[in-house]
Amino acid sequence: MDQNVAKASAVTVLAAGLGIGGLAVLHNSQQLDYEGKITIAAGNSQYYELATRYQEDLRKYGVQVEVRRTARFKDKEGRTSLRPLEGRLTLRELVDDNSGITAGFVKGGLVGSLQGRLASEKQKGRHSEYSKLRSVGRLFHEPVWVFTRGDLPIATLRDLKGKRILIGTRDSGSRGIARLLMRANGVIEKQNATFIDEDLEADAAPLVAGTADAAILVVAADSDKIQKLLRVPNIRLMDFTPEAEAYTNRFPSLSKVVLRKGAVEFDPLIPTDDITLLSTSVALVVRPDMQPALVSLLTHAVVHNPKSGFDKNGDPVLFYRAGEFPTANDPEFDVPDDARIVYKQGELPVVLKNLAPNAHNLGVPFTFTSFVSTHAAKLIGMVGVLAILLPLTRAIPAIYVWTIRRKLVYWYRHLKALERRLDAGGSRYDPEAVWAEFDRIDSHVRVMSVPAYYANQLYDLRGHIDLVRQRLSTMPESMRMAAE
């Protein structure tokens, strides 16, 4: 019987645990959208190349990645146009719940330019909104290139006062960073300078022709445009050497890099001297409500698909240092704990690493994978509790027997105490008190209920009570005789 009780208890505990776990999975999978899809905004070719590599890497884990280069926007007149997803447009789409964009490449310093004493109240409001985004890493350098006409004595950004400056299209990330740096140097649009909302083309035609005096770009060193601009004669690249340290102290999103003499070409020698540049770094940011499992998987794709140190021609990329990127050190956005774990370990969490590809191969929806991964600690804890509880179920029969026998032993103890009083006898014997105690024991035992399996022990107790009754009925006469 005890063995059957143990088996029944074990089955009950196990069934309850599995039932609770199953209900939790079912409930949460219905309540939460774990569709296993990431939509990445990648407005330029270098961003697009990285995004497609992430797409291929994540496919084996059951995650669908859509890469968008453009989005439809309406102007003030209601006209619809396709515009590249870069800069402010990417940020706007990331915070729009209806856009479908869940991740995007953002230039370093763009969001940082919307705060501080140089920012307007409108910009500060945007910063409070955009800063809620999360980063899964910084990916590569994008230096700040300031090209000027060769015949102008421009040594610092302050020298751009009164000049015509190309700062990039209104939606570009370069424009926001350029405006921040110029505001810091007192170069103000319409007050002491003319800003031209256009990008500098690879032939630097506006600078060569004299229709513009300077241009500011924030672009990777291995882009075709920069490589061509570095070789255009009669234009100069601004050297930030005297104030580079001050810029990096003032603006945490900036660092400095040095374009060494002859680093571009030895014949002809380009550049002819060392030039210090300011540099930002590209961040891959995600919405704050992205599923933890997707954050981990996307971070894993980022870590294992770094930007190459060689350009499309096989030449080393300027400013590239092995192991520098990708990095979880982000001065503008918070990095989720799920992403930091991947950077620290270099691998996915064990549950996600093993579950995701196997579940995908078996055709199991990503809903299940994401939920199990997110709640792995709780599920493992439940399994641990069951592992402890199941052996303990063997003690249930003993506990059950003890509770039944405890009631019988309790009244046996009182009956024994009564017999000791009878044995003591003599002048201390009080017939009324003894009979009252006996009646109390007898009345309680008569109404006691025990399972049929223990009925024999109850009847044994009652038999012993009858023996004491017989003895008690003869005790008063003998006790009087002893007293005399």
For residue 71, the SS3 value is: strand
Radius of gyration of the chain (CA): 41
Residue 432 pLDDT class (50, 70, 90 cuts): confident
CA distance linking residue 96 with residue 90, whole number of Å: 10
pLDDT at 388 over 90: no
Please give the angle made by the CA atoms of 45, 203 and 276, to the nearest 5 degrees: 75
Q: What is the pLDDT of residue 319?
A: 95
Residue 385 within a domain: no
Q: What is the pLDDT of residue 421?
A: 76
Average pLDDT over residues 85-95: 92
Q: Which residue has the higher pLDDT, 4 or 249?
A: 249
Q: What is the pLDDT of residue 281?
A: 96
* Residues 343 and 400 grouped into a single domain: no
Q: Which residue has the higher pLDDT, 153 or 399?
A: 153
Phi, psi torsion values for 218, nearest 5 degrees: -125, 95
Average pLDDT for the chain: 85
Identify the CA nearest to 181 among candidates 264, 106, 103, 112.
112
Residue 13 within a domain: no
Q: What is the pLDDT of residue 317?
A: 94
Residue 484 pLDDT class (50, 70, 90 cuts): very low
Alpha carbons within 13 angstroms on the beta-carbon side of residue 26 total 6
Average pLDDT over residues 9-35: 49
Domain carrying residue 425 = 395-483
* Residues 94 and 171 grouped into a single domain: yes
The two tokens of residue 163 are 């000049």
Least confident of 18-32, 46-60, 221-235, 312-326: 18-32
Please give the angle made by the CA atoms of 54, 170 and 186, to the nearest 5 degrees: 115
List helix spans (H) across 32-120.
45-59, 88-94
Instruction: Please identify, among 291, 322, 348, the residue that sits at the C-terminal boundary of a domain.
Output: 348
Q: What is the CATH number of the domain that holds 225?
A: 3.40.190.10
* Residues 400 and 311 grouped into a single domain: no
CA distance linking residue 457 with residue 451, whole number of Å: 10
Amino acid identity, position 279: S
pLDDT at 31 over 70: no
For residue 196, the SS3 value is: strand
Residue 4 within a domain: no
Instruction: Please identify, among 290, 321, 348, the residue that sits at the C-terminal boundary of a domain.
Output: 348
CA distance linking residue 128 with residue 95, whole number of Å: 11
Query: Phi-psi bin for 33: left (phi > 0), alpha (psi -120 to 50), beta?
Result: beta
Average pLDDT over residues 464-469: 81
Residue 22 CB burial class (10 angstroms; 0-12, 13-18, ≥19): exposed
Q: What is the pLDDT of residue 18?
A: 46
Number of domains in the chain: 2
CB 112 within 8 A of CB 251: yes
